[in-house]
A and B are shown apart, each in its own frame.
Chain A
Amino acid sequence: MTGLLIQLSTSLAAILAAFWLARHLQLGGDLRIRGEAEARALADNAICGFEAIDLAIDRAGIGALLRDAEGRVLLLRRHGAHFASRLLDSHAGIRLDRNFLTLATNDRHFGEVTLDLGPQAQVWAASLRHLSGHGDQA
């Protein structure tokens, strides 16, 4: 038992040291969406065959909203050194504050994200009011 506790304590110390080193070396970078082509590619990676016909990218590039021909709306947001996404299927949890659109999905672990969409924020906020489903996210 004592041996196991020593092993676990040593492992925990090593884990924290590795975390510190990764931060110290500034690993992970500062990922941003650099344009429409990248946003479209990220959407296709998230959902195979998702072809955006309309999109809005956060001014700092930390997220984006994309809509396809079927009316599906995909939220992309930065997650560490990558992007993660969810399909929006409800207007609940969507708030507009001038140029800022805050979006929450029904996956609370995914969290909410506030995108600076500039003048497009109001247009997207209006269009998202049509979302009414309450089912599971893709």
Chain B
Amino acid sequence: MKPMDPVPYAVPFFMALIVIEMYWARARRPEAYEPRDTLSSLAMGLGSTVAGALTGGAMVTLAFWLYQYRIATLGWAWWTWAACFVIDDFGYYWAHRGGHRIRWMWASHVNHHSSQHYNLSTALRQTWTGVVALNFMFRLPIVLLGFHPLMLFACGGVNLIYQFWIHTEAVKRLPAPFEWLFNTPSHHRVHHATNPRYLDRNYAGVFMLWDRMFGSFEPEVDEEQIHYGIVKQLGTFDLLWTSFHEWIGIARDVWAAPWGSKFGYVWRAPGWSHDGSRDTSDMIRARWQERQG
């Protein structure tokens, strides 16, 4: 059985909105886009589609295998859809948090953050190695509760579509109740920022509730200019390097590390080193806070 994936139907709208945002950039902020960066981001998106096509079958098979061991059968009622969407978003939050706090998972997710720009094309800058990073471990087990695998995949697709439009600087703030409940351009700008104040914050997919509940919420401060990208900016538009640099970094670090520390370069936070010679986001934030007095 093939899952209903809503994402391909949304792609024409994605491209149309990117064109509109480009004209906005020309009028307001020409530096909001950079042609090679856009090419790189969109090519990453295309590569991600290919990777998804190659691995999707295995994910569907795994989901249906797990579904055999469900504790209930919840069916297709409207409330089941709503519950599935919320629970899947909860799973997304933890997968995303893991994607920033565990280097093995970061090696995949870093691709999405490696642009120094923040525009709608950045939203399509997706990883090619999500399956290798085991992101699915946080979401597929939801079928054990009794949600049908096809429902889960459809909800995941809608979640991904929702997150497209929040990758923009063209929208400043939305009405307060919306900002409180949902992920918005403002909240997600914080997530993509390298400012010490903002590092590893706002992991939410759709509902901001999870960040508020689990202590990872940080509001955008209007007075502080945001710098986007990653702590060590790539400095290249090379597509293959962009896709695989962190995996190569892990391999090099594991090779060079003393035996007792090798595994730390895989499961500890990005930036961790056995000799303390590098910075994690927590160390950078602590240094920044110290400077603030």
Q: Which residues of A contact B (CB under 8 A)?
A: 4, 7-8, 11-12, 14-15, 18-19, 21-23, 25-29, 31, 45-46, 48-49, 77, 79-82, 84-86, 107, 109-111, 135-136, 138
Chain B residues lying within 8 Å of A49, measured Cβ to Cβ, are 287-288, 291
- Whether A80 contacts B36 by the Cβ 8 Å rule is yes
CB distance from B118 to the nearest CB of A (A): 11
B262 at the interface (CB under 8 A from A): no
- Whether B116 contacts A21 by the Cβ 8 Å rule is no
Contact A109/B241 with A18-B18, A22-B22, A31-B31 known, Cβ cut-off 8 Å: yes
Quick one: which of B37, B50, B194 contacts A8, CB cutoff 8 A?
A: B50
A79 vs B114: C-alpha distance when bound (angstroms): 13
B82 at the interface (CB under 8 A from A): no
A23 vs B25: C-alpha distance when bound (angstroms): 12
Chain B residues lying within 8 Å of A27, measured Cβ to Cβ, are 22, 25-26, 30-35, 38
* Subset of 7 A-B contacts with CB under 8 Å: A4-B53, A19-B35, A27-B22, A27-B34, A28-B31, A81-B116, A135-B277
- Whether A110 contacts B35 by the Cβ 8 Å rule is no
B71 at the interface (CB under 8 A from A): no
Chain A residues lying within 8 Å of B19, measured Cβ to Cβ, are 18, 21
- Whether A28 contacts B33 by the Cβ 8 Å rule is yes
Quick one: which of B42, B196, B241 contacts A15, CB cutoff 8 A?
A: B42
One of B87-95, B136-144, B200-208, B232-240 at the interface: B232-240
Chain A residues lying within 8 Å of B23, measured Cβ to Cβ, are 25
Chain B residues numbered 1-33 whose CB sits less than 8 Å from any CB in chain A: 8, 11, 15, 18-19, 22-23, 25-26, 30-33
Top 8 closest pairs, chain A to chain B, by CB: A84-B235, A27-B33, A22-B35, A28-B34, A80-B34, A82-B116, A15-B42, A84-B233
CB distance from B197 to the nearest CB of A (A): 10
Chain B residues numbered 211-259 whose CB sits less than 8 Å from any CB in chain A: 227, 229, 232-238, 241, 245
B46 at the interface (CB under 8 A from A): yes
- Whether A110 contacts B46 by the Cβ 8 Å rule is no
Quick one: which of B31, B49, B194 contacts A81, CB cutoff 8 A?
A: B31
B38-66, CB under 8 A of A: which get 1 and which 0? 11001101100110010000000000000
B284 at the interface (CB under 8 A from A): yes
B148 at the interface (CB under 8 A from A): no
CB distance from B16 to the nearest CB of A (A): 10
CB distance from B247 to the nearest CB of A (A): 14
CB distance from B293 to the nearest CB of A (A): 13
- Whether A11 contacts B11 by the Cβ 8 Å rule is yes
- Whether A26 contacts B30 by the Cβ 8 Å rule is yes
Chain B residues lying within 8 Å of A79, measured Cβ to Cβ, are 116, 233, 235-236
- Whether A25 contacts B233 by the Cβ 8 Å rule is no
B122 at the interface (CB under 8 A from A): no
B121 at the interface (CB under 8 A from A): yes
B117 at the interface (CB under 8 A from A): yes
Contact A25/B46 with A19-B38, A109-B236 known, Cβ cut-off 8 Å: no
Chain B residues lying within 8 Å of A81, measured Cβ to Cβ, are 31, 33-34, 37, 116-117
A115 vs B186: C-alpha distance when bound (angstroms): 37
The listed residue with most B CB atoms (<10 A of its CB), out of A7, A31, A109, is: A109
A48 vs B15: C-alpha distance when bound (angstroms): 36
- Whether B26 contacts A7 by the Cβ 8 Å rule is no
- Whether A18 contacts B116 by the Cβ 8 Å rule is no
CB distance from A63 to the nearest CB of B (A): 11
- Whether A109 contacts B194 by the Cβ 8 Å rule is no
CB distance from A22 to the nearest CB of B (A): 4
Residue of A nearest to B195 (CB): A45
Chain B residues lying within 8 Å of A110, measured Cβ to Cβ, are 235-236
Chain B residues numbered 116-170 whose CB sits less than 8 Å from any CB in chain A: 116-117, 121
